[in-house]
Amino acid sequence: MFQKVLNSKEPFFTDETVGELPLRFRVTPVVNNNTLLGVVLMAHPIEIVQKSLRSLIIALGIIYVVLVVPTIVGGFLLARGALSPLRETDKLKRVSSENLTERVKKPGTGDEIEELAETFNTMISRISEAFEREQMFIGDLAHELKTPLSTLRSGVEITLSKQRKGSEYKAALTDSLIDINNISSTLKNILDLAWTRSDNARGKAEKIDLSKVANELKEILEKLSLAKNIQITANIEKGIGVLGSEDKLMRAFLNVIDNAVKFTPNNGMITLSLKKQGSIAIFSVKDNGIGISKKDLPNIFNRFYRGSGTEKTLGSGLGLSIAQALINAHQGKIVVKSKPESGTNVTIELPLVSTT
């Protein structure tokens, strides 16, 4: 202590123990003309202060153990649980076109991490739906084009197998044109089905004067019915409008009236009507044809389904399936009621919109 006074000649504090009593000294050198004359010592016991500090350290230690450690551990476990979906890299690596059933487990935290997991699962679901649409489109295409392409190829091969007369070539080309038209119609059918499952079906809609469309359908129906001398009755209200694609709705209605003509006997009757009912436009086509059996009725909207007794009637079994898909894409619905030998009534309902 005194050596430090000699070196610095400045006052300072120091802690020393005298006997068993801890003391804090104030050391003040007495200097005159840079000569140390003596030292003044003042001391105060610090035992109480040291005990208080030790008690405070113990209390802080207890608080740290009781509160801080569990908080750190709990925060770590909570963060680990919340981030667990982001660590499921094995599942993400297994996602492919052959395996789109994998999903990230939602943590149930109700925060941004759960929202991210839901977004990822939604994205995988949309990708899965896109692949399913693609596979369905390819399957439909292969199913429908296989037979007409085989027939067309066989006809061309037979025609070219030997020298023929001009009339024979002409007949072969006529048959080929029929097959080509069938292929073209099939492609349009399948493309219409694909359209109903695409984002374009939910795109911008235009206002359609359904009354005008119904009158055009009446004229088409009259022409289609001439060969079978079918009587046509129409009851069409004016000023009925809907939203959607006029081309696609016309396609759906044409499929319905085409079926009515196909399955109505000579000299039969078809009634076409369009009316309002509340906020709904109701378009219906009723015939007195052969009707549909109870067994076939639940399956008529299935793709490529052809009921009993239709073997001699031309068609691919896509007409009503396409009509239903197109109507559903316009937020409407189609209902078929029928009994064998009592005719069929097809009703289409669509949401109304003002035509003004």
Q: Are 43 and 27 in contact (CB under 8 A)?
A: no
Q: How many distinct structural domains can be found in the chain?
A: 4
Centre a 10 Å sphere on the Cβ of residue 204 and count the other Cβ atoms it contains.
Answer: 7
Same domain as 130, residue 243: no
Same domain as 223, residue 319: yes
**SS3 state at 160:** helix
Same domain as 76, residue 39: no
| Residue 344 within any structural domain of the chain | yes
Q: How do residues 294-336 score in pLDDT, each as one tens digit?
A: 888 888 877 666 555 554 444 556 778 888 888 988 889 999 9
Residue with the bigger pLDDT between 341 and 345: it is 345
Same domain as 191, residue 142: yes
Same domain as 318, residue 213: yes
Q: Please report, as a single letter, which amino acid is at residue 110.
A: G
Separation CA 48–CA 41 (nearest Å): 21
Q: Whole-model pTM above 0.85?
A: no
Separation CA 17–CA 94 (nearest Å): 73
Q: Are 220 and 335 in contact (CB under 8 A)?
A: no
Separation CA 303–CA 149 (nearest Å): 20
**Residue 239, CA distances (Å) to 207, 208, 312 in order:** 12, 10, 40
Q: Are 237 and 275 in contact (CB under 8 A)?
A: yes
| Residue 94 within any structural domain of the chain | no
Give Cβ neighbours of residue 334 (< 8 Å, ≥ 6 apart): 252, 256, 320, 323, 324, 327, 346, 347, 348, 349
pLDDT of residue 303: 66
DSSP for 62-128, please give it: HHIIIIIHHHHHHHHHHHHHHHGGGG-HHHHHH-BTTB----PPP----SHHHHHHHHHHHHHHHHH
Separation CA 220–CA 334 (nearest Å): 21
Same domain as 144, residue 256: no
DSSP state of 290: S
Element at 8 (helix H, strand E): helix 2-8
Containing structural domain, residue 316: 204-351
Same domain as 171, residue 132: yes
Separation CA 336–CA 302 (nearest Å): 13
Same domain as 249, residue 146: no
Domain boundary, last residue among 164, 183, 199: 199
| Residue 305 within any structural domain of the chain | yes
| Least confidently predicted of 145-149, 196-200, 215-219 | 196-200
As given in the structure block, the two tokens for residue 244 are 């959607």
In percent, the amount of the chain with pLDDT more than 90 equals: 17
| Residue 101 within any structural domain of the chain | no
Same domain as 302, residue 231: yes
Q: How do residues 258-285 score in pLDDT, each as one tens digit?
A: 889 988 999 999 999 999 998 999 999 9
> Is 166's pLDDT higher than 90?
no
> Is 25's pLDDT higher than 70?
yes
Name residue, tokens 């439909």.
140
| Residue 23 within any structural domain of the chain | yes
